[in-house]
Copies of this chain bind each other. A is one copy, B any other.
Amino acid sequence: MTMEKTLWQQVQLVRQKSPLVHNITNYVVMNNTANALLAAGASPIMAHAHSEIKEMVNIAHSLVINIGTLDEYWAESMFIAAETANTIHKPWVLDPVGAGATSFRDQILHQLLQFHPTVIRGNASEIIALSKTNKTITKGVDSTAESNDAVDAAQMLVNQYNTIVCISGETDIILSKNQSFHIRNGHPLMTKVTGLGCSASALTGAFIGTIEDKVSGTAAAMSLLGIAGELAVRESKGPGSLQVNLIDKLYNITEEEFTSHLKIERS
């Protein structure tokens, strides 16, 4: 089977299985994240209360932790959830939003790494910051580094934490112990919509909660978002309508659209 077919089958499998994805994410993107997951066929739940975290991780198929608007209470929620997921072998995604921006974020991220995220997805600046104990200058939550610059940092994270790392950017680079992917889908206008990186992480959560091969599942999630974004841009007048059209396209993308636009290389 071609890679196009394999990845498209995974897109369809997520629709059929409708995995329950538990999100501990930031306030800015909760609505979009839930809508992106619903549009892709998954079932989102947002929950962060210490009193219910363990039960939620238990009933969910996967967990997504995004530190975008963390505070001390939410950091503890994230620790409980990540530890639970690690213990009971639920796949989970770490989105290190704003890594390097403050020492608080770096401390929390350092602790979360000890619970072995299945996948880490961030932009190049965040991945570089995550791999360092010394402080990196990050400008807000947007990337100022190129994906390629972050490859060494990502490789270190892969080796040290036995994880998959996805560096998202103009080219998305997915690295793991055994295989890697380069995906050249997406469009620059997507960086003008808040939280599409967060949607990428959430979709990755849906795919690794459904697909056995986590590296391939991550590639399918990133491809889906990139292609849907690319196609949605064509119908959009700016970032406002792109946010709306992207959700529509995640919902109604066809096999022909997916396979004919996919730009992926495996190595």
Interface presence of A90 (CB below 8 A): no
Report whether A101 and B45 are in contact in the complex, using a CB–CB cutoff of 8 Å: yes
Report whether A71 and B48 are in contact in the complex, using a CB–CB cutoff of 8 Å: yes
Copies of chain A in the complex: 3
Within 8 A of B (CB), among A61-79: 68-73
CA A249 to CA B101, docked complex, whole Å: 31
What is the chain B residue whose CB lies nearest that of A35? Answer: B194
Chain B hits for A70, CB < 8 A: 49
What is the chain B residue whose CB lies nearest that of A235? Answer: B237
Report whether A56 and B195 are in contact in the complex, using a CB–CB cutoff of 8 Å: no
Number of A residues near B (Cβ < 8 Å) is: 61
The smallest C-beta distance from A222 to any residue of chain B, in angstroms, reads: 20
User: Beyond A27-B46, A31-B32, is A39–B246 a contact (Cβ under 8 Å)?
Assistant: no
What is the chain B residue whose CB lies nearest that of A105? Answer: B52
CA A69 to CA B44, docked complex, whole Å: 12
Report whether A29 and B26 are in contact in the complex, using a CB–CB cutoff of 8 Å: no
The smallest C-beta distance from A173 to any residue of chain B, in angstroms, reads: 23
What is the chain B residue whose CB lies nearest that of A20? Answer: B140
Q: Mark A31-59, 1 if CB is under 8 A from B, else 0.
A: 11011001100011111111110011001
What is the chain B residue whose CB lies nearest that of A142? Answer: B43
Within 8 A of B (CB), among A142-157: 142
Q: Mark A234-257, 1 if CB is under 8 A from B, else 0.
A: 001111110111111111100000
What is the chain B residue whose CB lies nearest that of A26? Answer: B46
Report whether B244 and A38 are in contact in the complex, using a CB–CB cutoff of 8 Å: no
Report whether B52 and A104 are in contact in the complex, using a CB–CB cutoff of 8 Å: yes
User: Beyond A28-B31, A72-B49, is A237–B241 a contact (Cβ under 8 Å)?
Assistant: no
Q: Mark A15-30, 1 if CB is under 8 A from B, else 0.
A: 0000010000011111
The smallest C-beta distance from A87 to any residue of chain B, in angstroms, reads: 18
Report whether B34 and A50 are in contact in the complex, using a CB–CB cutoff of 8 Å: no
Chain B hits for A241, CB < 8 A: 244-245, 247-248
Interface presence of A139 (CB below 8 A): yes
The smallest C-beta distance from A121 to any residue of chain B, in angstroms, reads: 19
What is the chain B residue whose CB lies nearest that of A251? Answer: B238
Report whether B45 and A71 are in contact in the complex, using a CB–CB cutoff of 8 Å: no
CA A55 to CA B104, docked complex, whole Å: 9
Chain A residues with a Cβ under 8 A of chain B: 20, 26-32, 34-35, 38-39, 43-52, 55-56, 59, 68-73, 98, 101-105, 139-142, 192-195, 236-241, 243-252
Given contacts A47-B69, A52-B105, A237-B245, 6 further A-B contacts (CB under 8 A): A28-B31, A49-B72, A51-B102, A52-B103, A55-B101, A55-B103
